Amino acid sequence: MSTEKPSEEQWDIAQARELYGVNRWGLRYFDINEQGVVTVAPLKEEGISIPILEVAKEAREQGLHFPMLIRFHDLLRNRVARINRAFSEAIAEAEYRNQYRGVYPVKVNQLREVVEEILDAGHDYHHGLEVGSKPELHAALALHEDPDSLIVCNGYKDEDYVRVALIGRKLGKKVILVVEKVEEIRQIIAMVNKMKVEPLIGFRVRLMSGGKGKWAESGGENAKFGLSTIDIMRASRLLQEANMAHCLKLVHFHIGSQVPDILTIKKAVREGAMFYAKLSKLAHPGLEYLDVGGGLGVDYDGSRTTFHSSINYSLNEYARDVIYNIMDVCDAEEVAHPVVISESGRALVAHHSLLVVETFGNIKKAQVEEEAVAPTIEHKLIDDAWYAYQNISENNPLEAYHDAQHYKSEAQTRFELGMLDLEVKAEVERIFWLVGVEVLKFFRGAEFVPDEIVELESKYSDQYLCNFSVFQSLLDHWGFGQLFPIMPLHRLDEEPQRRGTLADITCDSDGVVSRFINLYEDGVATLPLHELNGKPYYLGIFLTGAYQDIMGDLHNLFGRVNEAHVYLDEDEENGYYIEETIPGTTMEKVLALVQYSEEDLGRKLKRQFDRAIREDRLRPNEAMRLLNEYNRNLKGYTYLRLE
């Protein structure tokens, strides 16, 4: 066995895994193979591993350009199975005397293919749907076919909403209307009498145990949704007066998404279960379901902590805690165990999709030389700076840095006064960056790094230009500072020699990714990346399946990205096939969304061409060719075409 410490040259895949934390956030779905290429195993150890770039290249050959979103449908199915299995195991283990019924909150990713896949994969578990608006309800009602699975209707409701939900009841579906405010009870009672149908009603209770974290505002006394204890008493009385006390079937709460701390969940579940038990004994023995809402988080940064982009618990721990605490409260209150519903969305869909983006340039802020060349110009400032450079040692790295800083700012001052030539200024700055590089070496791997050195390090970082829009594809990074795992999809058999931030192609200074996962709460400012070598360089932005790939914003009119949907298939040569490609939004379509019609634009431009022909500025032949080109282009992709 060698006792030698690995030198910088001995880079291996294990180091790449560690550097990007792929085994920490990837839940064993993602890994790096010996060729240094990122792979996905949609079924974990029960199926094959696919090099992600291979899929991207195949989709490219089918005509899809980058940026490209890839969905792994088997991974989505695997998540559905795992959540259901986690609950059935927890139920068996605790000898809980009822069952679990999951519902998928459609708002987390409304894409029809995603919802259909979840329903299909959840068929054996009777996994149902949760909706929060009329359009979602209309979609759910049509897609949902299993009479044993539920449709839970949350969100504020008008008459139409209630009516459509009751149409579902007429079809024999278990559609549950969850009351968000007391007035909705009257609405439901009126509509039920008109439509002559028995409703299934739920109360959304407002818990005192709120969540922590960035999405926590949905809980607590000031929450936007739900009934206070006083409201609950009023709502219960209204139901009793209408002889509908038995229609109350469900108690629901939702303390927010991405709850980082399992203790918050335990506490909320106990409080919710207490509402269930007390209501059941008060006047509603027909109560049957306790719905614990969403909140089951995703460990985006892989730190397994209560950081905002992490969670300190596993899926199995979550399921066990939900089941145990409901059981504990119900046993103490001597009420029967309810059917447990959870509305997990994020944890179900986050992992199944990723965005592949292509870099197309690298803006280097500080030019670093391979070998330090001695200055050839004579000047006191240059001599002093060079002296500082030559005398850096482990005893004084900070001192050397401060000296170099001083000479640089001195050069700047004299330059502004017209007392210094460009050559001298450039030379002093060149030496400053040389000093910086040396100084940084002394702090590499150090336990404590002073702030000024952290700042210095970020000065050496590059800006990698990436063909995508943060506003379309990574909205929560922009809006909440949520961190997502990002890494190169190839070349991981080489040590990344640079560090950089990512700049998107919107004309917005916020269109950047400048926080990356790490084992610090707010991440780090730069991502280790490879030197561009003239060949395409692809990055993967992972865990974007929840909220991101559906919430996009049309900033600068960059539209939805191209999508490839991948299925595993043992009969295929590579073990998978691309089942469907969905072209991203065309320019024509995004323009139409803001009231520009294709015909109108073409007509307006044609008038200008006609004028140019009349005025002899263009020949008719050329004018028509250019106009056709414009019209053809309108049907193209909104992102850069880099080939």
Ligand X SMILES: *Cc1c(COP(=O)(O)O)cnc(C)c1O
Answer whether 464's CB lies under 8 Å from 362's CB: yes
- Which two tokens mark 181? 């405010």
Question: For ligand X, which residue of 51, 122, 294, 338 counts as binding (CB under 6 A)?
Answer: 294
The one segment of 37-45, 100-108, 168-176, 374-382 that binds ligand X by CB under 6 A: 100-108
Strand pairing partners for 152?
Answer: 130, 176
Binding status of residue 211 toward ligand X by CB under 6 A: no
Q: Closest Cα to residue 195, out of 168, 158, 235?
A: 168
Binding status of residue 260 toward ligand X by CB under 6 A: no
Binding status of residue 344 toward ligand X by CB under 6 A: yes
Shortest distance in whole angstroms from residue 521 CB to ligand X: 20
CA atoms of 98 and 92, how far apart (whole Å): 10
Q: Closest Cα to residue 548, out of 325, 300, 341?
A: 300
- Which two tokens mark 442? 């002394």
Q: Count CB-CB contacts under 10 A for residue 570.
A: 8
Given the complex with ligand X, which of 293 and 436 has the nearer CB atom? Answer: 293
Given the complex with ligand X, which of 400 and 550 has the nearer CB atom? Answer: 550
The one segment of 1-9, 292-300, 329-337, 527-535 that binds ligand X by CB under 6 A: 292-300
Binding status of residue 199 toward ligand X by CB under 6 A: no
Question: For ligand X, which residue of 199, 295, 397, 488 counts as binding (CB under 6 A)?
Answer: 295
Binding status of residue 127 toward ligand X by CB under 6 A: no
Binding status of residue 226 toward ligand X by CB under 6 A: no
Binding status of residue 254 toward ligand X by CB under 6 A: yes
Catalytic residue among 153, 330, 466, 507: 507
Question: For ligand X, which residue of 288, 343, 429, 457 counts as binding (CB under 6 A)?
Answer: 343
Query: Scanning residues 133 to 192, which ones bind ligand X (CB under 6 A)?
Result: 154
The one segment of 85-93, 289-297, 399-407, 558-566 that binds ligand X by CB under 6 A: 289-297
CA atoms of 614 and 2, how far apart (whole Å): 83
Strand pairing partners for 516?
Answer: 524
x-marked contacts with ligand X along 14-53 as a string, rule CB under 6 A: ----------------------------------------
Shortest distance in whole angstroms from residue 547 CB to ligand X: 7
Given the complex with ligand X, which of 461 and 548 has the nearer CB atom? Answer: 548
Binding status of residue 351 toward ligand X by CB under 6 A: no
Kindly report the backbone phi and psi dihedral angles of residue 601, in degrees, each rounded to the nearest multiple of 5, phi listed first: -60, -45
Shortest distance in whole angstroms from residue 262 CB to ligand X: 14
CB-count burial class (<10 Å; 0-12, 13-18, 19+) for 235: buried
What is 235-292 written as a DSSP string? HHHHHHHTT-GGGEEEEE----SS---HHHHHHHHHHHHHHHHHHHHHT-TT--EEE-
Size of the site for ligand X (CB under 6 A): 17
Task: Give catalytic status of residue 507 as yes or no.
Answer: yes
Q: Count CB-CB contacts under 10 A for residue 437.
A: 15
The one segment of 75-83, 102-110, 476-484, 551-559 that binds ligand X by CB under 6 A: 102-110
The one segment of 64-72, 250-258, 537-545, 591-599 that binds ligand X by CB under 6 A: 250-258
Binding status of residue 238 toward ligand X by CB under 6 A: no
Q: Count CB-CB contacts under 10 A for residue 465.
A: 18
Question: For ligand X, which residue of 65, 107, 206, 408 counts as binding (CB under 6 A)?
Answer: 107
Query: Scanning residues 460 to 479, which ones bind ligand X (CB under 6 A)?
Result: none
Give the start-end residues of each E strand in 243-392. Answer: 248-252, 289-291, 339-342, 353-364
Given the complex with ligand X, which of 207 and 456 has the nearer CB atom? Answer: 207
Kindly report the backbone phi and psi dihedral angles of residue 423, in degrees, each rounded to the nearest multiple of 5, phi listed first: -60, -45
CA atoms of 377 and 446, how far apart (whole Å): 36
Q: Would you please indicate which residues are annotated as catalytic (active-site) residues?
A: 507
Q: Which residues lie near ligand X (CB under 6 A)?
A: 105, 107-108, 130, 132, 154, 254, 257-258, 293-296, 343-346
